Structure 1
């Protein structure tokens, strides 16, 4: 899911940069997409190198859920701004395409937030590829029953 978010952030950023820079709302879309690329890539790197396994004191699921929720809202605002700006000004077709990808990123971050919420509700722990603690706890419960 993180790769999908990174790709959509990157496409949004590219198409925002292809349009003219005279509209101030475009700066918000640039900020949201560029920070989204940076933070999501950082999180992906932390999971790939299993850094999350070495820092179990951090509740990664809740942190990511809050981040994904915030970026869902931010991308909704950015996509609406880009859609309105592309309809008001001439020569801004790239902003319309960026708005499409921003709405896609909003959906991707929203779905990821929902998945993080389900994981948090089921008391799962974020792992970098090893067996989650919840599965081990469920196996112990099944052995007692």
Structure 2
């Protein structure tokens, strides 16, 4: 008859080890521009600037629709430019405890919606310059939306915005002998 305290002789434990590997020094790294998030930020900056220029070249640039579009474009231009500089100089990595991916996800999501609204208003205005600005606005909306989707995937995967997080699982099996 088996001992009631003996549960088959095997005991399995699983240990998850998570290490975060970051360098906290400020340094310039131009290779970020060649990554997908870096290229998206460059595209966002260019599209923001092109849409702004289209509205500014119009004789109707002082109208509320143009002012709204320019506010969206220039705010996005400066915030995205600052984020690009932070990534290029590894400021994001220095402050890795801040949930950068979540913050960028919310930022990109909000700007996707703001560009949708601004581009619709610009397209419905009727001026050629506004239609061109609307085109760049819709393109910016798509780029910000794709960036938001990538950030969401990164948040779900538990990634860091910059630096590396290594997760390893260790499983050990021990054979328990019955106590007599």
TM-score, with normalisation over the residues of structure 2?
0.70
Instruction: Note the alpha carbon deviations across 1:43-100, whole angstroms, 9 max, x for none.
Output: 00000000011112210000000000000000000000000112xxxxx211100000
1:125 aligns with 2:164: no
- 1:89 corresponds in structure 2 to none
Three-state SS of the structure 2 residue aligned to 1:21 is coil
Q: Structure 2 CA distance, aligned partners of 1:80 and 1:22?
A: 18
1:70 aligns with 2:110: yes
- 1:17 corresponds in structure 2 to 56
- 1:5 corresponds in structure 2 to 44
* Bigger Cα Rg: 2
- 1:83 corresponds in structure 2 to 123
TM-score, with normalisation over the residues of structure 1?
0.87
Q: Which has the higher helix share?
A: 1
Change over 3 Å in CA distance of 1:38–1:22 after alignment to 2: closer
1:22 is displaced (CA, Å) by 4.3
Q: Which contiguous aligned blocks of 4+ residues in structure 1 show a shift greater than 3 angstroms?
A: none
Matched positions, count: 131
Structure with more contact order per residue of length (Cα contacts < 8 Å, sep ≥ 6): 2
Three-state SS of the structure 1 residue aligned to 2:97 is coil
1:53 is matched with which residue: 86, 93, 101?
93
Unaligned runs of 5+ in 2: 1-39, 172-180
Unaligned runs of 5+ in 1: 87-91
